[in-house]
Structure 1
């Protein structure tokens, strides 16, 4: 296999409308070793897989910091606020892949529902799978979009299988059940009575347990998830701010705008304009 230093960044020269709408696509992939490597964004229309070859990668998202070591990787939804960079000490190297597309959405939504993003994984064979995808991308100026979509899907499924996302052992059963309830009722008004009842707990014990698991109150967590969904609606739909506020069951547009600004630092209108 070629040295990882041979993996210069590959950028897709053209993506058809058909591919963007129906297939899995990648606009870029490659290798990074610049010690000043730092990405800090509020949103970017892509998902990302990064795999560490040497050194240490640090990824920050959803209030958590992850240190990724060699032989390990991380999958992130870049449509939400994110930051990643190399640890200051030592030399670090990663290989990375941007990907998106309609078939990806079901997988990403499932991971969001299980509160599993960013998804960390350990895989000694990832480099081999990545190399196969990279060779396909670099072999032709315009690689076959169907073949490339299948290759991306294969790599994504390999990561999910390695991370064993279908097994909830890595997450406490309370946290998993609470997360699933929240995402199933995200468009509804936030109510503690129904939530606690669903969890078969008194409101007091439910709130206490929830804070232990999520380091915030249930209503704070629900609001954050509503705003995360609102950001995606602002970016990817033509719904008005008032319609988004209504869909997410805020009292009115003013209430939605106030909460959005408190949690993001900008108004919904400014966020939409970029």
Structure 2
């Protein structure tokens, strides 16, 4: 595979999906390679993994080396800077991925909260293998449908979480029934959905599907669907002035009273309290565990 970068552009809005923006393989030995997270003029998340040499990251006032087989997670805009040092003895070679979408940033923040911005992955770890696979697909122009890319990004995030948690089946490929269900829920969360409907989309009985879904994602299908809906509701509460009942309906809840109970349970505040709060609850979408 050639050392190059790939950019993805979407003809229609993709904010409701997890959208890969760029993916690539680079090498630098230039002192001018320096990126400040407060001066890039856009909003996205990034993962960068060192293949050889080393880079440096300053985040939250702390300095981190990024040597071989280490990577870092950052969000933009944020208080960080990563760069190549001219004192290094060899070029910094790395692969990277950037992404956007209303559900993505919460996962990045969750990873950083658990591990710090810098992580260590073996070169044969599933997240790294999946990055190479996604780059190969981009080079051969296969699997470029926006929904397929969204599912691939979600699979990659799950692989990272599994690897960082030391799960025994980290690195296991997510089977097609699970990816089909994830895609279905990401795009149809606003509808009234039953477990039977989600399982049917996956082509399985609900009992076998539930076991398979939990095995590969760590949560039940309904829990995952509820997370998507509450994340969407939190966005609407903060970014629009729709009545709470309208927010509930747009997020897939057909009963505003039940919506209020679920929202309070997962977010620790009522929908109106969340809307009225300032500063104590961040504006980005919160990963609900």
TM-score (norm 1): 0.54
Aligned counterpart, 1:81: 79
Q: Where in structure 2 are the equivalents of 1:105-120 lying within 5 Å?
A: 105-111=105-111, 114=113, 116-120=115-119
CA distance 1:99–1:25, shift in 2 (3 Å) = same
Matched residue of 2:58: which SS? strand
Alignment gaps of 5+ in structure 1: 167-232, 250-274
Aligned counterpart, 1:47: 45
Is it true that 1:12 corresponds to 2:8 in the alignment? yes
Alignment gaps of 5+ in structure 2: 168-234, 242-274, 281-289
Shift of 1:91: 1.6
TM-score (norm 2): 0.51
Cα pair 1:133 1:152 within 8 Å, conserved: no
Aligned counterpart, 1:134: 135
Deviations 1:91-125 (A, max 9, x none): 2101110012233244234346x364414132222
Shift of 1:34: 2.2
Measure the CA separation in 2 of the matches of 1:246 and 1:146: 34
Matched residue of 2:138: which SS? helix
Moved over 6 A (4+): none
Cα pair 2:36 2:81 within 8 Å, conserved: yes
CA distance 1:151–1:41, shift in 2 (3 Å) = same
Measure the CA separation in 1 of the matches of 2:6 and 2:59: 26
Aligned counterpart, 1:56: 54
Aligned counterpart, 1:25: 19
Cα pair 2:45 2:75 within 8 Å, conserved: yes
Measure the CA separation in 2 of the matches of 1:7 and 1:51: 14
Aligned counterpart, 2:121: 122
Aligned counterpart, 2:91: 91
Measure the CA separation in 2 of the matches of 1:238 and 1:76: 27
Deviations 1:63-116 (A, max 9, x none): 11111111121112223122111232122101110012233244234346x364
Q: Where in structure 2 are the equivalents of 1:184-223 lying within 5 Å?
A: none
Is it true that 1:152 corresponds to 2:122 in the alignment? no
Cα pair 1:13 1:142 within 8 Å, conserved: no
Measure the CA separation in 1 of the matches of 2:156 and 2:69: 16
Shift of 1:128: 2.3
Matched residue of 1:248: which SS? coil
**Higher normalized helix content (fraction of residues):** 1
Shift of 1:165: 8.2
Paired residues, number: 170
CA distance 1:33–1:94, shift in 2 (3 Å) = same
Cα pair 1:12 1:28 within 8 Å, conserved: yes
Matched residue of 1:42: which SS? coil
Is it true that 1:68 corresponds to 2:38 in the alignment? no
